[in-house]
Every structure is written in C-alpha cells, then in structure tokens.
Amino acid sequence: MHTNKHFLIVLFLAASLLSACQFAAPATGVTPTPMMVPVGVPTLAVTLTLPPPTSSPITPTAEASPKPSPPPPTTPGASTCKDSAVFVTDVTIPDRTVIAASQPFNKIWRLSNNGTCTWGPGYEFVSVGGMPMTTTNVIAVPNTAPGATADLSIAMTAPAVPGEYAGQWQLRNASGTFWGPKVTVLIVVPGGAPPASLAIQSFTANIQDIPTGKRLTFTWQATGGTTARIYSGAGSARFATAWPVQPNGGTFSVDVENDPQFPNPSMTLTVYDDKNNMVSTSTQVSWPCKYDYFFAPAPGASCPDAPVSASAAEQPFQFGRMMWLEKTSPTVGSRIFVLYNDGRLQEYPDLWAEGQPPSDPALAPPAGMFQPVRGFGKVWRENPAVKQQLGWATAAEQGFQTIWQTTKSDSLAIPAYLHTADNRIIELLGAGGIGNWKYRTLQ
C-alpha cells in the first residue's frame, strides 16, 4: 500500500514538471554585413528589367503598420554601434610645413565620423608614435554625431634642432580600443640661414610618354650638400614619394605607371649639409589628369578615375531613398545604396536573384505607400534598422542609366559620384559599408 502511494506521488510530480516545460524556437535570419569596394573599371553591359506591377492587390491586415522613427541613440563604445572615422583634411600645418626652431604652433586635423557611434565622453585622441612635439599626449574628443566632423587641435612646439619631425595620432574609444586612421604631423625645422656654400644652381624636370606610363627625368646642379631628395607632388599629399639623389648635381630618371593624383604637380629638390641646413627649389611638370569629371565644377583638386556608364534603379522612401547600381567591373558586383535624409549612407551587396521571393505578401503598406521588391525589398526586409529608419516606399522603383565615377584620394574612404534619376549629382563618401552622402551643386 505504501508502495502504490509513493508511485502515485512520483507520477503526479512528473506530470507537473512536463506541463510546466516551455520550448523556445531558435531564432532565424542573418543580417548581411554591408561592404564597400573601390570601383572605377569600365563597365560590363547589363540590362535592367523591371517586372510589371502585381496584378492582385494585397489585402491589408488588421495589424497596425509600425511607424518609422529616427535611428535610436547610440552609446559610445557599445556593441550595437560601430566606430569609424575618415581623415578629411589638415586644417593647419600641411605636411612638410617649415617652422622655425622652438616656435609654437597649433596643429588641427579634421576627421569625419562615418560610423554609427556618437563620439563623446570616453573618446580620446592619442599620440601613438613618432615625435609628439607636445606635453599633451591625450585630448578629449568633442561630441560628434554620425555624419558630422570634428576638428582635433593640439598645441605643439617645434624642436630646437634642425631636421624633419613626424608624429602619429589616433582615436581611442571608451573601452580603450584604438581605431580609425593614424594621422600625421610632419614639419621641417630649418637650420637658420644656410651658408653661402650651400646652394642650388639649377633644377629641371622633363616628362615623356612611355608604353607603361610616364618617365620623369630630373637634372640639377648644387654645391655644399651632403644629402639630397627629390619630392614628388604627383601622388599622395600626405605620404609623398621621395627619391634620394646625389647632393651636388646629376641626372635622375624614374618611370611612373600611375596617373597623377593632382594635375600638373610640383617636384621639389631639397639639399642638406652636414649641419642639417637645407635649401629647396621646385619646378612644375606639365602632367594633366587623364580623365575629366563628368560634371562641373570639379569637386576638388584631385584627379578622377574614368567615368563608368551603368544601369541603375532608384526608389524614394519616407525618410530617404535606395539606389541600385549594376556591377562596375568584373570584380565588383551589383550594389544597393541606402541614403537617409539625414546624410547617412549604407551600402549592401545585391544578393537577390531570380527565383527568390520578390516581396513579402504578409506585409501590407499603408494607403499610398509601397513595399519595396526584389533587391531593394530583400535589404529592407532582412535589415530591421533599414526598414525602421527608411519607412515605406513612397513610389515604385524607377530604372535609368547612370554615370559612376570615383576619384583619387589619400583617405581610405574614396569619394564617388553618382548621377540620380532626377538629374542631380550625389557625392558618396564611405568605407566598410557606412559613410555619408550629399548633393553636389552644379553650374
């Protein structure tokens, strides 16, 4: 009898445990990671065919449509946002500025926040290498929202000994992680008035076409030097190419395959003596850009890459737009740009293919709105933040023929220009799939 009683108690407890168990279904769906790839190679011929609108209307459901809202605020260093920065310009003291020995100066860099985190408390700008030329090795970064720029200023003093001096600085977030580009301060401290024995009598530069590009030939005559360099202005302004040459005269030739980053660049000969005294002289080379911008006025001094004609599509949304661009080279696939009205930019690979669902029939747009389809729809549906921040489409997508052009840049973020369906030009500046965009003012 006691045995049967115990058995009934155990059976009751087991049934109770089973009835209390709940099993959660595993989460599904992976958000694709945006990516940015440099372009500029001649296009492949691709025809964009837009399918006709659906013949059967979508029946609205009783569920209320979610109201789009601006992006939620981000927390510095939080895992939900991404730190990213782009060097914009040297506001003061461009590289190789000549500054007298022991003279104070103020170096200012301008960086753009092309990430999704807001820079603020806990963010710092830190000396990470070279000659700091300051006792302030760390400064706080001002509050900078995504899409905005920050001017980072350091009070410095030139060393007392003549020579070239360089220091590197980088951003650090609240978690102590260094990120973003390393930016440089590079100055030249002259050795006072050079002695009369140190002088450059002549310096010329000639350029000629060769099958692989250009050949530069320099000829000079100097006296009193122990070392000398020729600095090229054809390439990067921040990381100039320098060729060591004989200090007291000679001829030097170099073959260059790449087009110039800046048109008609200056070439500079600098000669030093054994006390670091220096003399310099420059000459300009007639070397125009290989290509012109497809619009005017030109957006800057840099030379552009070849313009590419490509098929495109565009669709307006409540809080921005989407643009599709066909592959612009054999190695760069079709892409989708998400352009928010606040100037933020995101880029995604176009992963939609024929045979995949073009839309979700369970989603019913409000009256007068549209659900994006095909590639636009895939990005919109599979990325909740995109869907929330763009809202519904306000018109059907429109196919058109566009022009795409990139430009040469010192930055990791390569500026690119795109012709829109409404005959405007937008500038895209981003890296790693995120960045900023704006309209260009045309003549």
What would the DSSP string read from start to end of 294-347?
Answer: SSSS-SSSSPB---EEEEEEEEEETTEEEEEE--SBTTB--EEEEEETTSEEEE
For residue range 47-97, list pLDDT tens digits in order.
333 333 333 333 333 333 334 444 444 443 344 788 988 888 888 998 888
* Mean pLDDT computed over every residue of the chain: 81
Using CA of residue 14, residue 15, residue 20, residue 24, what is the dihedral sign?
positive
pLDDT per residue as tens digits for the range 296-325: 998 877 889 999 999 999 999 999 999 999
Statement: residue 27 has pLDDT above 60: no
85-189 and 199-276 have identical folds: yes
**pLDDT tens-digit map of 85-129:** 888 888 899 888 889 889 999 999 989 888 889 999 999 999 999
Task: Looking at 137-259, list the stretches that DSSP marks H as alpha helix, in order from N- to C-terminal side.
Answer: none
Q: Could you give the percent of the chain with pLDDT greater than 90?
A: 55
**Mean pLDDT of all residues in 134-144:** 94
Residue 238 has pLDDT above 70, yes or no: no
What is the DSSP code (8-state) at residue 235? S
- The per-residue pLDDT for 198 is 95
> In the predicted model, is pLDDT for residue 248 greater than 60?
yes
Half-sphere exposure of 119 (CA within 13 A, CB side): 29
Q: How far apart, in whole angstroms, are the C-alpha atoms of residue 388 and residue 384?
A: 6
The number of beta carbons lying within 10 Å of the beta carbon of residue 162 is: 19
Position 435 confidence tier, pLDDT thresholds 50, 70, 90: confident
432 vs 412, higher pLDDT: 432
pLDDT at 412: 57
Domain boundaries, the chain: 85-189, 199-276
Specify whether the CB–CB gap between 415 and 327 falls below 8 A.
no
Residue bearing the bigger pLDDT, 302 or 331? 302
Long-range contacts of 296-300 (CB under 8 A, 24+ apart): 296/442, 296/443, 297/442, 297/443, 299/407, 299/415, 299/417, 299/427, 299/440, 300/407, 300/415
Tell me which of 16-25, 175-184, 288-297 is least confident: 16-25
The pLDDT tens digits of the residues spanning 162-193 come to 888 999 999 999 999 999 889 999 998 887 77
- What was the pLDDT predicted at 66? 38
pLDDT in tens, 408-423: 876 556 789 999 999 9
The pLDDT value given to residue 348: 94
Is the domain spanning 199-276 CATH 2.60.40? The answer is yes
**pLDDT band at 285; cut points 50, 70, 90:** very high
Q: Which of 327, 367, 369 is nearest to 349 (CA)?
A: 327
pLDDT at position 276, please? 79
Mean pLDDT of 336-340: 96
In this structure, whether the domain defined by 85-189 belongs to CATH 3.50.50.60 is answered with: no
| Mean pLDDT (whole number) for 38-42 | 33
Which residue has better confidence, 144 or 77?
144
Report whether pLDDT(42) > 60. Answer: no
The structure's pTM equals 0.63
Beta pairing class for 213-223 and 227-232 = unpaired
Please tell me the least confidently modeled range out of 170-179, 380-389, 426-435.
426-435
Segment 387-391 shows an average pLDDT of 96
376, 355 in Cβ contact below 8 A?
no
Quick one: pLDDT band at residue 432, thresholds 50, 70, 90?
low
- pLDDT computed for residue 240 by the predictor: 62
